[in-house]
A and B are shown apart, each in its own frame.
Chain A
Amino acid sequence: MNRFDGPRDDIEQRIANDRVPLPTSLRPRILAAVGEALENGPTPLRSSPPWREETVVLATSILLASLAFLVIIPSLVAGPGSGPILGSSESSLEVQARRLGIELPRATPAHWSQETGITAPVSFPHPRSLTPADVRDVLDASF
């Protein structure tokens, strides 16, 4: 262990000489503080850092707030089937049809929409298998 064993140059010497005597009042003051701390008992060791619980609560709050902002509130404001569902590739019409148990033809939503001309959400009277032409007929009958 290479402990400091005395100044080796003028700067170290100057720093070493720049000492203030230890105040005599410090010893009784510190021993009194030690005695008081001993009476209060040791601080219990914590199993986890004090910040951990607060961090978990904060992270959960942020997550819930984000969830409400991105998913729940938009769906409440917009109403059911009125727009694309976040995180889903289904169109509103596909969602509506699935809810009613209607099996849509195997085509992309864009192709299917183009073929039927349907862009607005619709309700179907009976769950059954429909082709795009059937859907058009149902809609014509509804309006």
Chain B
Amino acid sequence: MDDSNTPEREIARLAAGDMAAFARLYDRLGERLFAAARRMTGSVEGAEEAVQEVFVALVRGREKLATVSDLDGYVFTTLRHSIGRRWRSLASERRSLDGLRRSIEEIHGSEGRVMPAPRLPDDELAAAVAALPNAQREVVALRIDGGLSFEEIAAAIDTNPNTAASRYRSALEKLRLTLGAAANLPRHPVRP
């Protein structure tokens, strides 16, 4: 029996630093990783960087891969950590920028504002997803874009499957409310 293509053998090749194995991993998971990363970060550029970070992290820590049993879950967990670091970094930058903007406004008044207001996505769905708490947005991304089970999601975000499923349902309910309310609003301002 040929067992050269079993997940265990593939993980062993990755752990050994086999370049072709990393290429196969990208071909198999790249699209799902990119989709989940775009949902979580809200941007194509952010998703590209996050996926690249995942693969570089996998290579650098490849010795740990030898102990991994669920490769897909491990890769998505790495993605989640990468984006989590990005969120924390962005939050820190945003606080710094807010402080800078306030200082400028105190000195020059509101006309001295040089920082552009954050640009909201035009798409209603993207805006509604972006408005979700990070913990809910990542569950939606891992479930629908990543195609993971609640057990795998729970392992990735370090919780239990019931909590993961509950966050997912809450997120969908919020999206339903937000998008339903948006659908009832006039798309163009009513002229008096």
A20 to B34, CA, bound (A): 9
The verdict on A11 contacting chain B, using a C-beta distance below 8 Å, is yes
Complex contacts, A16 vs chain B, CB 8 Å: 144
The verdict on A106 contacting chain B, using a C-beta distance below 8 Å, is no
Beta-carbon contact of B150 and A26 below 8 Å: no
Count B interface residues, CB 8 Å: 43
Per the 8 Å Cβ criterion, residues 1-39 of A in contact with B are: 1-4, 7, 9, 11-12, 14-16, 18-20, 22-23, 26-27, 29-31, 33-35, 37-38
B155: min CB distance to chain A, Å: 11
With beta carbons under 8 angstroms apart, the residue of A11, A33, A42 that contacts B179 is A11
Beta-carbon contact of B30 and A2 below 8 Å: no
Inter-chain contact count A-B, CB under 8 Å?
97
Beta-carbon contact of B172 and A11 below 8 Å: yes
Beta-carbon contact of A3 and B63 below 8 Å: no
Contacts A11-B172, A15-B144, A30-B52; A22 near B31 (Cβ below 8 A): yes
Using a CB–CB cutoff of 8 Å, the interface residues on chain B facing chain A are: 17, 19, 22-23, 26-27, 30-31, 34-35, 38-39, 44, 48, 51-52, 55-56, 59-64, 123, 125-126, 129, 140, 143-152, 172, 175-176, 179
